[in-house]
Structure 1
């Protein structure tokens, strides 16, 4: 048995909602939909409402994490709209067609907080450090097949095409080794202009699901043994345990 899943991110409804609606009109139903943040444009709850009406056509199981434009102050209202199960540094288990998935959901972290964040969010660098630590511990706590649904990129390998000077403000590399060292399918967004959509090492994958890259969602088939198929190309990368820079390289 497999779970047929649609993955996407960065719809920024209502901004890109018409293109999203057009992209899914012939796709049929899915066992689940995973959205890696930025469902709304600048916290516009009305944009989320029209998006939800369309998501209902895709699946009864919608799981999302907040992105940087799903503003904290509107999230209580967003949660009241039902249909979407929001995960914000939380873990759930989901069984679909006898496929059991452990799902970790988080906004994620940046190696270098943005200028706006440094000015307006107290102790944001500490928050990002703690979140990376929590994500590492949580991923490492089980050898089960895990979906990491995360807004900010957990690697720089899926940021190619973006200006390298801003990569530290698009994601964090310190999660990469933990993902590749476990049985994880990581799905992120936020990188609108990347040209590398998917990298894999062994049975683990990191997928950039930003809708704004190819203007269509990604379709996955997942079994209990891992990812069976994916609708985009995926590059094999070499991973060596213990290699790679630390988040501290950019936060000192």
Structure 2
């Protein structure tokens, strides 16, 4: 199965570049079975800004199921608006979907992810954010273990980086606010086949391997392109 992945389009900021990237890979996009969005597909919670992204994606990847997680720009208090407005998108919010391919089945678990250190804004505006991240990490670990029994291929999709390995290029002082070593330990323990993430705009190391898990930063500002994978 061909999978197209991206994140951080921040529509309308990188909308035209995203559409151009879909056109560049038009043949593969037409064959894609899944399009993965790893969050921040709009700017500052603008629900209406996702419409041209959805329309372009459905036009260029007509056979693909669009599967998305929320990023920090899809504000938590607007999740229901995104879900109602875009029913053609499968929204994974600490949940999973199993997709049957021609040869193998693929389990996709999606989440905003975990930060080792909540941002200043999060500490001020989200009560109990540390506990939220702790529960989210525990659920992710438990579900990834279960999904290995449900599908041939296990994919983790988070907005925040599940490892520090793909943070190179960003200021090390803010790495705890971009990703999580806690999640890296979960990868080591549960061994998903691929961990897709976004959020890291200035990454110079876009991919890494850890104990057999391929970690892929698909943030559009870091790549200037979409990612096409064959599973």
Same fold at TM > 0.5: yes
Match of 1:207 in 2: 216
- 2:44 corresponding residue in structure 1: 42
Alpha-carbon separation, structure 2, partners of 1:149 and 1:159:
16
* Cα separation, partners in 2 of 1:18 and 1:117, compared to 1, 3 Å: same
Question: What's the offset of the Cα at 1:142?
Answer: 4.2
Q: TM-score with structure 2 length normalisation?
A: 0.91
TM-aligned CA deviation for residue 139 of structure 1: 1.5
Residue 174 of structure 1: SS of its match in structure 2? helix
Specify which of 59, 77, 83 is matched with residue 81 of structure 2: 77
Whether 2:204 is the aligned partner of 1:192: answer no
Paired residues of 1:140 and 1:178 also in contact (CA < 8 A):
no
Q: Any runs of at least 4 consecutive aligned residues in structure 1 with deviations exceeding 6 A, and if so which?
A: none
Q: Distance in 2 between matches of 1:14 and 1:108?
A: 24
Task: Give the aligned CA root-mean-square deviation in angstroms.
Answer: 1.3
Q: 1:38 touches 1:70 (CA, 8 Å); kept in 2?
A: yes
1:155 aligns with 2:163: yes
Instruction: Give CA-to-partner distance per residue, 1:31-77, whole Å, 9 cap, x none.
Output: 11001000110011121011111110224300000000011232222
Task: Measure the CA separation in 2 of the matches of 1:21 and 1:8.
Answer: 12
Output the CA distance in 2 between the equivalents of 1:62 and 1:8. Answer: 11
* CA distance in structure 2 between the aligned counterparts of 1:126 and 1:180, rounded to whole angstroms: 22
Aligned to 2:133: 128
**Does 1:178 pair with 2:178?**
no
Question: Which residue does 1:33 correspond to in 2?
Answer: 35
Counterparts of 1:164 and 1:66 in 2: how far apart (Å)?
A: 25
Say which of 72, 91, 106 aligns to 1:68: 72
Q: Which residue of 1 aligns with 2:226?
A: 217
Greater Cα shift, 67-76 or 188-197: 67-76
Return the alpha-carbon distance in structure 1 between the equivalents of residues 107 and 156 of structure 2. Answer: 8
- Which of these residues, 84, 104, 107, is aligned with residue 102 of structure 1? 107
Aligned to 1:250: none
Of Structure 1 and Structure 2, the greater helix share is in 2
2:107–2:147 Cα contact (<8 Å) kept: no
